[in-house]
Structure 1
Amino acid sequence: MDVGDASLAEAGERRIDWALRSMPVLRAIGARFDASRPLEGLKIAACLHITAETAVFVGALKAGGAKIALAASNPLSTQNDVAAALRSYDVAVHARAGVDRDTYYRHIHQALDIGPDIVLDDGCDLVNTLHTERVELLDGVTGGCEETTTGIIRLRQMAAEQALRFPVVAVNDTRTKRMFDNRYGTGQSTLDGIVRATNTLLAGRTVVVAGFGFCGRGVAERAKGQGSRVIVTEIDPVKALDASLQGYEVLPMAEAARAGDLFITVTGNRDVIRGEHLAEMRDGAILANAGHFDVEIDVRALEDMAETVHLGVRPHTDEYVLADGRRLLLLAEGRLVNLTAAEGHPAAVMDMSFSAQALAVAWLAEERSRLAPGVYDVPAEIDAEVARLKLGAAGIEIDALTAVQADYLRSWRFGS
């Protein structure tokens, strides 16, 4: 194991206990797993954000009988106290906050040393490492789950090239995940991280949101709700049209760069904000990334353009002074601002995301021998069950179809 400070375990337990209060669905699934043991004897290697909510998820998998090795999917999002507390869960934890790239990948290799039957990934780095550097383990891996948009993009490309060697469930693509986690979770936590890092007033500021997928839509909605003027940049004509019809101004980044006070990238792609865009930005512009990897903002170009860099002018805020005196503020080193400068999604959000993933792991454990390599959607009944459980935990009741209504939906013989 490799954790930052084992003495922080008690503080980590308190943080996990607090998250548990807002995760009733995952608590119920954990109790169900404890009774049925659907993961008995399985070895799971996971590359996830090491947060209190992840600890609750790992606890549910342990209750199901799994043996787990865990690495961090982002070194800046690791909560060292939670990593220390997870040792008491009998989980092999390889994660410390702020490690360099080499240590990050060493931790992934250490997690893979368990010889996994199933892998859980958050960005596809673990799966990529398996397919490029740990190929000797591939024959033993019978399935996996991926939780992020960025990871799914990479996995679908692997599948298209027939490079993917086992079935992977696209947990990110469930309706509940896209709606609750991507839209509401990313929207709130991204602005939370930005405000914590800068203490800036959002009302009256021009916010440029790069990407209008479910995550970008959530960020745009929350910024608009705070009184910001929101500009959206997009490459997808349908999403751009959607943003326009929702009342947002839609511009190319080359034009938006001159107008924005705050820039938030949420695309899953690289070089969304490049040197030519940085050259047009006004003094004091803030740069934040809410996509999974630290490639959406060209940090190297920013470093090359800067004559002076003031690191840590505020926590998680670095100031780059350009030759003409303009100052650009980069948050979280261009990494995930919501998990670096804040605590990520609220526990109530992750309750649904991790519940869907826990049920998907159990489904995969049962079905993996019948699945060919490829990317699979989460079964619709799992998505619906998570939503029903969440509604029940919130005390919300909904209607049910009558027998006549159900018959009407099943038949084509009824006319107008």
Structure 2
Amino acid sequence: MEQFERARLDSYFTRVAAEFTPAEPPASFLITHLLPERPSFVRAVAAVSRLRAVLPKPKSIDAAARRETERFTQCDELSRELFADPETCLDYVESRAAGESVVLLDVGGYFVPALDTLCDRFTGRILGVVEDTENGHKRYAEHDKLPCPVVSVARSPLKDPEDFLVGQSVVFSTEALMRDQGDILNGRHALVIGFGKLGSSIARLLHAKAVRVTVYDIDPVRRAQALSQGFTVARDRETALTGAGLVLCATGSVSLCGEDFSALRNGAYVATVTSSEDELDLDGLPDIYSRTPTGDHVTRYQTTGHYFYLLNDGNAVNFIHGASVGPFIYLVQAEILAGIHMLAQGNLDPGMHEANATDRATIAAMWLNYFNR
């Protein structure tokens, strides 16, 4: 990022922070993809809250961004295991913010397993969670009885441009890796598993590249939507897998179990839009498959009479090339700051919440002022 671009970004976030700084800023923990431009957002979080730690997503850490972030705040290691055990999570939060009012900024539902314990036994107060992703939104929404408010930006209209551009970056990175192997998209039959915002974007972009696309989704409403948009809709996943030369997983939950991989046609490519631990049950893959790197970020899985290729070890394929979605991501990040402001007021009931239309309009107007040039 050029110096003048960084100056503009910092100015934008300074303006957003001024709009949404609470009267009494809470402490916060921030889980985030620590990409090259992300320190500006981290500074904004630190401006509207007492940022106690940044926990970067392990597969999306830019070294320079981490060094810059560590100059002004604490960076800790993130893992599912840290939050899978409620006692471990409680000890961690206590070590950083004992006795404080805390907002948890999440990407993918990391805090769900420990949320009840945190709200019940933390020496301070958990004001709530701000969740960024559809995967995380589902995890919180499926919680039997949320013990605190959760402000979700996953389904905000301000996120629509990001979702479209993430889909575009997934298709770009998938095609780039295939070309490195001497293959191309054209002529392959693609299967998109999951027809949510990202899956539908991927399907449309593949179709625009003259790729035959089949869609599979467990939700009959989404299957009907896919059919209305001209896509072939698979009646069952196994049949769809056997005919696909490219499989793109976009569910946010397990798309392929161990036994599903044997149904892939020979030479099929598999890519995902999120982490392998969410989309693929690689541990369930039979041990008879050997694993051989065949290029940067491409692994060939092979057994007698069968082989397929896994891109980026099953992690989000678009992060290979930076996962850039341009300045549109700053709309979503501003809404996260608005979510902190909402939770800091302390008047939301436990359950799922969204930013209001007025705040979204304010964010969009500020963003247009800085980036519609």
Q: Structure 1 48/262 Cα, relative in aligned 2: closer, same or farther at 3 Å?
A: same
The Cα offsets for residues 228-263 of structure 1, whole Å up to 9 and x where unpaired, read as 111111111221111111111111221211211110
Deviation, structure 1 residue 337: 2.0
Segment drifting more, 241-250 vs 137-146: 137-146
Out of 60, 67, 72, the position equivalent to 1:77 is 60
2: distance between equivalents of 1:85 and 1:294? 28
CA contact (8 A) 2:13 2:41 kept: no
Residue 80 of structure 1 deviates from its aligned partner by: 2.3
- Structure 1 counterpart of 2:45, from 54, 61, 81: 61
Q: Which amino acid aligns with 1:153?
A: K
Selected match of 1:128 from 98, 108, 113: 113
What residue number does 2:315 align with? 335
Distance in 1, Cα, partners of 2:237 & 2:357 = 37
Q: Return 5+ residue gaps in structure 2 as ranges.
A: none
User: By how many angstroms is 1:321 displaced?
Assistant: 0.5
Matched, 1:274 2:257: yes
Aligned to 1:402: none
Q: Which amino acid aligns with 2:359?
A: I
TM-score of the aligned structures, taking structure 2 as reference length? 0.86
1:52 is paired with a residue of what secondary structure?
coil
Structure 2 partner of 1:153 = 138
Q: Give, as a single letter, the amino acid of the residue that structure 2 aligns with 1:236.
A: D
Alpha-carbon distance between aligned partners in 1 of 2:324 and 2:4, rounded to the nearest angstrom: 14
Task: Report what 2:323 is aligned to.
Answer: 344
Structure-1 residue corresponding to 2:333: 354
> Of the two, which has the highest radius of gyration?
1
- When residues 71 and 319 of structure 1 are mapped into structure 2, their CA distance, relative to the original with a 3 A threshold, is same
User: Are the aligned partners of 1:30 and 1:64 in contact in 2 as well (CA < 8 Å)?
Assistant: no
Q: Distance in 2 between matches of 1:282 and 1:152?
A: 33
CA distance in 2, matches of 1:139, 1:395: 42
Work out whether residues 189 and 244 of structure 2, in 8 Å CA contact, stay in contact via their aligned partners in 1: yes
Structure 2 distance, partners of 1:154, 1:363, is 21
Q: In the alignment, what sits opposite 1:287? A: 270
Shift of 1:43: 1.2
Change over 3 Å in CA distance of 1:198–1:55 after alignment to 2: farther
Aligned-partner Cα distance in 1 for 2:296–2:348: 47
- Aligned-partner SS, 1:304: coil
Displacement after TM superposition at 1:265 (Å): 0.8
Task: Give the whole-Å Cα distance in 1 for the aligned partners of 2:230 and 2:178.
Answer: 27
SS at match of 1:113: helix
Deviates more, 1:107-116 or 1:79-88: 107-116
Note the 1:165-204 alignment, pairs <5 A. Answer: 165-177=147-159, 179-182=160-163, 184-199=164-179, 200-204=183-187
| Partner Cα separation in structure 2 for residue 389 and residue 131 of structure 1 | 37
- Within-5 A mapping of 1:294-373: 294-306=277-289, 308-310=290-292, 312-324=293-305, 326-339=306-319, 341-366=320-345, 369-373=346-350
Structure 1 match to 2:224? 241
Q: Contact conserved, 2:193 with 2:248, CA < 8 A, in 1?
A: yes
**Aligned equivalents of 1:111 and 1:20: distance in 2?**
32
Per the alignment, residue 9 of structure 1 pairs with none
Q: For residue 128 of structure 2, what is the aligned residue in structure 1?
A: 143
Give the partner amino acid of 1:120: L
Aligned partner of residue 265 in structure 2, secondary structure: coil
In the alignment, the residues of structure 2 paired with residue 293 and residue 18 of structure 1 have an alpha-carbon distance, to the nearest angstrom, of 37
Change (3 A) 1:47 1:314: same
Alpha-carbon distance in 2 for matches of 1:275, 1:37: 47
CA distance 1:292–1:156, change in 2 (3 Å): farther
CA contact (8 A) 1:210 1:216 kept: yes
Q: Is the 8 A contact 2:83 2:114 kept in 1?
A: no
Letter of the 2:310 counterpart: L
Task: Please give the alpha-carbon distance, in whole angstroms, between the structure 2 residues aligned to 1:105 and 1:81.
Answer: 29
CA distances 1:152-186 after superposition (whole Å, capped 9, x unpaired):
1111122xx22x22111011121121x1122x122
CA drift of 1:121 comes to 0.3
Structure 2 Cα separation of the partners of residues 394 and 16 of structure 1: 15
Shift of 1:322: 1.8
CA distance in 2, matches of 1:204, 1:125: 39
Q: 1:19 Cα shift?
A: 7.1
Given the alignment, which residue of 74, 82, 89 partners 1:92?
A: 74
Change (3 A) 1:376 1:303: same
Task: Provide the secondary structure at the position in 2 that maps to 1:209.
Answer: strand
- TM-score, length of structure 1 as denominator length: 0.78
Note closer, same or farther for the CA distance 1:187–1:386 as it changes in structure 2 (3 Å cut): same
The reply on whether 1:44 has 2:24 as its aligned counterpart is no
Cα distance between partner residues in 2 of 1:28 and 1:352: 10
Q: AA paired with 1:364?
A: L
For the pair 1:385 / 2:362, whether they are aligned, the reply is yes
Distance change (3 Å), C-alpha of 1:338 and 1:45: same
Q: How many residues align?
A: 363
Say if 1:256 and 1:370 are closer, same or farther in 2 by CA, change over 3 A.
same
